[in-house]
Amino acid sequence: MFAVAQKQWVYVYDNQGIELHCIKKLNKILHMEFLPYHFLLATASEEGYLSWLDISIGKMVSQFNTRMGRLNLMTLNPYNAVVCLGHSKGIVTMWSPNVKEPLSKMLCHQHPLQSLAIDSQGQYMATAAVDRTLKIWDVRKLEGPLQQYKLHAVASNLAFSQRGLLAIGMGNVVEVYRDCCQRPADRPYLRHRLFKRIGNMQFCPYEDVLGVASDSGFTSLIIPGSGEPNFDALESNPFQSKSQRRESEVKSLLEKIQPEFITLDPTVITDVHIPTLRDKVEAKKKLLFLKPPKIDFQPRNKSGKKKGTVKVAQTKRIVREEQRREFVKTLKDAGIGEITSPQNTESSSVSVKHKPFTALDRFKPKKKKEEG
Amino acid sequence: MKVKVLCRNPDYYLRETKRDIYKVPRNYEPSLHPFEGLREYTRALNAVKLERVFAKPFVGNLDGHQDGVSCFGKHPQRLSLLVSGSYDGEVRLWDLPQQKCVRNFRAHDGFVRGIAFLPDGQQFVTVGDDKTIKMWKTDLPDWGEEEEPTNTYISKSVIMGVSHHQKEPMFATCGELCQVWEEDRNEPIRTFQWGVDSLHDVSFNPIETNLLAACASDRSIILYDTRDIGPIRKVIMTLRSNRLCWNPMEAFIFTCANEDYNLYTFDTRKLKQPLQVHMDHVSAVTAIDYAPTGKEFVSGGYDKSLRIFEHGKSHSRDIYHTKRMQRLTCVLWSMDNKYILCGSDEMNIRMWKARSAEKLGVLRPREKTALNYSEALKRKFGSHPQISRIARHRQVPKHVYHAQKELRTIKLKQKRKEANRRAHSKPGTVPFLSEKKKHIVEEQE
């Protein structure tokens, strides 16, 4: 299956060319990226909207406006699956579907950005601006620039290979640098001139090949040393048979990472969680001295109303609930969380959606219904 | 000009014939395996959910007793044989794989109070409410022969339980007094007495074979030595213990099932406080049996549920319950560590899996590695809140759920009251008592 962003909307076709879907929620899309381990299609639109669509279940995970105007440049950081956008103010912003604000903003150049690329290990980011400069940044520490280069033309395309070679497309020339991130490179490794202007380029994953799309067609260039020689068959196998492909598809769907986990640092899940145990224990100790407050509320007798009416009982109940909510809130601030208070109501009245009850529904946290 | 480029010969990567397995070259470089932690977390989540999906512990039911089942006898060698005694004096021998009764006979007038096998497994001893002790052969009687005990002993006092020595040909009975009998004598060879007490349960230590422990009705547990010394120590608790079981792997550890809804694991070398208090039952605990590994034990209670506890943990790892299963009187953990049997008031013996999500039968090697991997993942991510929530989740019958809530509020109120007392009195007057010490009254020698 592949997705094509056409003039208005995004269309999805299968490998036979049959149109499967027309996704009207994604309109005027300029860039699309596929997150393979999350099964998400991240798209950037002309009007500044970023959307993430879950391809496996067809649900729009997140869609919001970045308020940064037209999104010209977009890349994916393959290490942590955040979307990096380049803007005309020379800023690079990083976005995750969980947060409506950019995760980070880096001022890279004084001039509008022309192209952006991040290497496969998520260490280096190469940015090129219209003033013919190329800078290499450390994207994990968000620092830099590690290297700065002055090119002889504006770099309209950038691509990193699996082994860290950087291909720069300037007009109709492709230059490949072997190691421009760790040490300042003085000469390119390879240079190739095409007849027409370059459109887009990308390295082939496990081969020493760079595919270049130009106005005159598609060319593949041999760049020795750019591909990863030893692949891991359980990860991606170029020689997989049909049954192996089907098995790996099912396995990858089972291992699909939830979009809530997309953060700048993907190793957070294996770290120890703070608040520490001591804080929790201390909070529990504090709890023993706290008695749930006895609420004695006598409503003011306004203009001779009867005491036992329904309205009076209702106001009493509302005030009692408010006070109990405040008590729970103070406990939460103390870090205790939910205790064994029998009536823990939610502030917003959420109507229980009636969904068909499946076998795994019993693991979902139960939503407490509001009283009365 | 020669250019050295990556080129792969497909013959090295594809299998030769259709009957071979696929070739799977590996590269363990972390750059080729992004999101390792997250993918493992997702796999752990799936593993824990699947465990709950496949948690179907009930295996079968042994039907046949005409009255409630009172006790079990565990054969020391044969896995497929089970002996059970009931309240109408009937003893039945069951073939567990076929779930059929092989042999049944009337052993006593009145309750069958206890069954114990001899260490060679050829004979077993039953005691009943008619003050008799009878020895029977395990094998089926020949054609034309009637069911007859090989030996009968008549005791002067009521007998409540029996336990056989692990090695020597002697067994102990408890009732009004603790008596040790030998197989060829009609009178008990030794009688132990300590104060005025009637004993409910007696058990020989399987490893330190001269030690004997008994639960007395004056809320105490008494330890005896069958060599000349006699009763050694006594520990008095707040409530009476119903049953007692020695750990088959550790010589000095035993667990007792108490009336105050808890089980206590004691070390015989230090009886002043228990090693561990196991709390999870919501009513009196009436039966207990250890797994042959010594790492877990199963307990049955008056609250119609079976709970499986791990050795050092204070809360149960699993609960088994059925609407049809009423008060449990006896439990047994099979010697191959796979099955748990429980006998209840309503004349049924139920068979359960010891690990509820285990696949019975022969596992193929790939299945085994996949299951081992799932177990390792569950251990690695076991402390994550979502995963531990799913792993802990058990559907519990309504009466147990409400009783648990009630007990929780009671405990909270007690803690709060104690904290208030401590806050409003002279510092030091209200001491901090650990949970373990709270339930012991004293230890006597």
Question: Measured between CB atoms, does A309 come within 8 Å of chain B?
Answer: no
Distance from the Cα of A8 to chain B's closest Cα (Å) equals 34
Place of tokens 């079990």: B72
d(CA B71, CA B376): 38
pLDDT less than 50: residues of chain A:
337-354, 369-372
How far apart are the CA of B416 and the nearest CA of chain A, in angstroms?
5
Question: B259 CA to chain A: closest CA distance, Å?
Answer: 27
Contact present, A363 and B390 (Cβ < 8 Å): yes
Q: Which residue from B247, B192, B237 is spatially nearest to B217, judged by alpha carbons?
A: B237
DSSP state for residue B327 in the 8-state scheme? -
Report the C-alpha gap between B93 and B140 in whole angstroms. 10
Q: What confidence score (pLDDT) does residue B420 get?
A: 86
B410: left (phi over 0), alpha (psi -120 to 50) or beta: alpha
Over its C-alpha atoms, chain B yields an Rg (Å, rounded) of 27
| Residue B17: per-residue pLDDT | 94
Instruction: Note whether B415 contacts A288, CB cutoff 8 Å.
Output: yes
Residue B319 near residue B328, CB atoms below 8 Å: no
Please give the pLDDT value at position B139: 86
Write out pLDDT tens, residues A30-71: 999 999 999 999 999 999 999 999 999 999 999 999 999 999
* Residue B218 to residue B176: CA distance in whole angstroms: 12
**A233 touching B (Cβ < 8 Å):** yes
Select from 3.30.2350.10, 2.60.40.10, 2.130.10.10, 2.40.37.20 the CATH code of B58-140+147-353.
2.130.10.10
Residue in B334, B279, B325 with CA at minimum distance from that of residue B306? B325
Query: What number is the ipTM of this complex?
Result: 0.80
Q: Best of A230, A241, A242 to disrupt the B interface by mutation (most B CBs within 10 Å)?
A: A230
Residues of B in contact with A338 (CB under 8 A): none
Report pLDDT for B39: 95
Residue among A41, A45, A49 nearest A81 (CA): A41
User: Which residues from A are below 8 Å from B5, CB to CB?
Assistant: 208, 222, 224
pLDDT, block means (10 residues), chain B with 445 residues: 89 93 93 93 96 96 93 92 94 93 90 93 92 90 79 90 91 90 89 83 92 91 86 90 94 93 93 92 95 95 95 94 94 94 94 94 95 95 91 94 94 88 85 80 79
Which chain A residues have a beta carbon less than 8 Å from that of B31?
Answer: 120-121
**Which residues touch B429 (CB under 8 Å, ≥6 apart)?**
none
Q: Chain A residues with CB inside 8 Å of B401's CB?
A: none
What are the residue boundaries of the structural domains of chain B, listed by start? Answer: 58-140+147-353
Residues of B in contact with A255 (CB under 8 A): 39, 42-43, 46
- B118 touches B169 (CB < 8 A): yes
